């Protein structure tokens, strides 16, 4: 059995394989690896198209460790970029990005902002593209070179009128940035674009020059997000996909901070549904314990009501249009299918394609999937990362490089503590008192 792996350039194929070799989720090229996600395609594509037309969407993704939450959001991000969306993936954490401090979330958003043309941070290129678009519109309307600065200022004021009512400093700082750019004052321009991105500690003298004051706060961050969405739209990006990953970490913070964070999430959902953020597709990811347990969503009844989704029926009939999506996780069969796709992608870029396909056949991949799963206490959901890492680094690379290497004869897979995550170690520990070099039987 072989799979269609077309559409991947040699560079993207290489980056994908290298990420799997390191045990990481690839940043791009995920389409051929999207095992089990076809059920979501129509619904998320319809939602992305609606967001591009000016609506807003909130989605909560639930799944156990290893069910593919990060993979799903990056797959969704690729589909968003195909529509020229901007994308930002923000990891929620108590110390680095506490959810109850939206000014920090906004800052991480601008730091992680990416488009199909620019990697993170694409924030400043987006700002510059916006001013370029304003200048083009002013010139098209008949403005002369002498009239251009005032015409751009008028266009900017008009397009940010709604934002100025709630975040006047955003528009003021944009104007100051543009003036600094026109005056070739690079230092001031750098400082102001940093301030627009939510960075703290911008020099007071620079802020006074531009007519802005203070640092961004929790409530100001919502206004700045509105401003960013307006800038994105006018610079050719009809939407922003914002992923808040690993919200289950809220369960481990102090109760007062947890309650503030849950209320911030409730506020964000309400603002999305109120129409305040046209062009925003907001996704949060978490474990079932976060959505159903006493230390998560259920601590705040209004939030629990907004996220309530019936999962009592067979998972085959889950509604992909619902506010909450349940990722099904892997079985041995779907893990084997994933292995087949990775092997075929690897073989496509290999000088020993025929040998890779023959030696690492479907039967061997099924055996390896069962072995890795068995070594993790039968917990298939925990296995994908480790399975793919071993497949690429220990099997495919050797078959590709050594003509006489046969994984059935020369490879006895093991798992050592150093290569396991905490969850994987806990799963492996179910089988042995010590997880030192657990042998996996093929």
The whole-number pLDDT of residue 433 equals: 45
Cα torsion 37, 38, 40, 44 to 10°: value is 110
Q: What is the mean pLDDT of residues 294-315?
A: 94
pLDDT confidence bin for 224, thresholds 50/70/90: very high
Res 380 pLDDT > 70:
no
Query: Between 194 and 150, whose confidence is greater?
Result: 194
Q: What is the pLDDT of residues 16-57, one digit of tens each?
A: 999 999 989 888 888 888 888 999 999 999 999 999 999 999
The whole-number pLDDT of residue 426 equals: 65
3-state secondary structure of 286: strand
Least confident of 15-24, 205-214, 258-267: 205-214
Res 324 pLDDT > 90:
yes
| pTM reported for the whole predicted model | 0.88
Q: What is the pLDDT of residues 85-101, one digit of tens each?
A: 999 999 999 889 999 99
b (16+ CB within 10 A) / e for 388-426:
bbbbbbbbbbbbbeeeebebeeebebebeeeebeebbeb
Q: What is the pLDDT of residues 406-415, one digit of tens each?
A: 999 998 877 6
CA 159 to chain CA centroid, nearest Å: 29
Characterise 201 by phi-psi region: left (phi > 0), alpha (psi -120 to 50), beta (else): left
Res 2 pLDDT > 60:
no
pLDDT > 70: percent of the chain: 91
CB 307 within 8 A of CB 59: no
The whole-number pLDDT of residue 408 equals: 92
pLDDT confidence bin for 329, thresholds 50/70/90: confident
3-state secondary structure of 132: helix
Res 4 pLDDT > 70:
no
Mean predicted lDDT score pLDDT of the chain: 89
Q: Which of 348, 331, 360 is nearest to 3 (CA)?
A: 348
Res 102 pLDDT > 80:
yes
The whole-number pLDDT of residue 412 equals: 82
Q: What is the mean pLDDT of residues 263-277?
A: 96
Res 435 pLDDT > 50:
no
pLDDT confidence bin for 318, thresholds 50/70/90: very high
58 forms beta bridges with: 282
**H or E stretch covering 181:** helix 168-182
pLDDT > 90: percent of the chain: 60
Pairing of strands 414-415, 438-439: antiparallel
Q: What is the pLDDT of residues 104-140, one digit of tens each?
A: 999 999 999 999 999 999 999 999 999 898 888 889 8
Least confident of 346-350, 408-412, 437-441: 437-441
């Amino acid at each position: 059995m072989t799979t269609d792996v077309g559409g991947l350039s040699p560079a993207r194929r290489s980056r994908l394989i290298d990420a799997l070799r390191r045990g990481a989720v690839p940043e791009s090229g995920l389409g051929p690896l999207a095992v089990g996600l076809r059920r979501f395609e129509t619904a998320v594509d319809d939602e992305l198209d609606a967001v591009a037309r000016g609506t807003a969407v909130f989605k909560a993704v639930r799944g156990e460790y290893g069910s593919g939450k990060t993979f799903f959001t990056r797959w969704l991000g690729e589909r968003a970029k195909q529509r020229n969306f901007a994308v930002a993936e923000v990891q929620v954490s108590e110390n680095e990005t506490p959810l109850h401090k939206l000014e920090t979330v906004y800052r991480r958003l601008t730091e992680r902002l990416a488009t199909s043309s620019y990697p993170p941070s694409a924030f400043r290129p987006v700002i510059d593209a916006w001013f370029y678009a304003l200048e083009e519109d002013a010139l098209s309307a008949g403005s002369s070179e002498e009239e251009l600065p005032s015409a751009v200022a008028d266009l900017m004021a008009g397009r940010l009128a709604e934002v100025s009512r709630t975040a006047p400093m955003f528009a003021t700082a944009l104007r100051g940035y543009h003036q600094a750019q026109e005056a070739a004052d690079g230092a001031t321009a750098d400082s102001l674009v940093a301030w627009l991105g939510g960075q703290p500690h911008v020099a007071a003298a620079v802020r006074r020059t531009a007519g802005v004051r203070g640092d961004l706060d929790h409530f100001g961050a919502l206004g700045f997000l509105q401003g960013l969405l307006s800038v994105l739209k006018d610079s050719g990006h009809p939407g922003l996909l914002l992923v808040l990953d690993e919200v289950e970490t809220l369960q481990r913070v102090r109760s007062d901070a947890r309650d503030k964070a849950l209320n911030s999430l409730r506020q964000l959902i309400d603002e999305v549904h109120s129409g305040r953020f046209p062009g925003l597709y907001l996704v949060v990811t978490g474990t079932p314990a976060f959505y159903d347990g006493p230390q998560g969503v259920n601590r705040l009844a209004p939030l629990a009501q907004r996220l309530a989704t019936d999962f009592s029926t067979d998972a085959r009939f889950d509604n992909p249009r619902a506010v909450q999506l349940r990722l099904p996780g892997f079985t041995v069969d779907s893990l084997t299918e994933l292995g087949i796709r990775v092997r075929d992608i690897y073989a496509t870029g290999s000088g020993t394609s025929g040998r890779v396909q023959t030696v690492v056949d479907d039967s061997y991949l099924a055996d390896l999937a069962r072995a890795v799963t068995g070594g993790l206490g039968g917990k298939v959901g925990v296995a994908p990362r480790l399975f793919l890492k071993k497949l690429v680094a220990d099997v495919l690379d050797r078959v590709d490089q050594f003509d006489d290497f046969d994984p059935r004869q020369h490879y006895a897979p093991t798992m050592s503590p150093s290569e396991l995550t905490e969850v994987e170690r806990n799963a492996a520990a179910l089988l042995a008192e010590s997880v030192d070099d657990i042998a996996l039987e093929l």
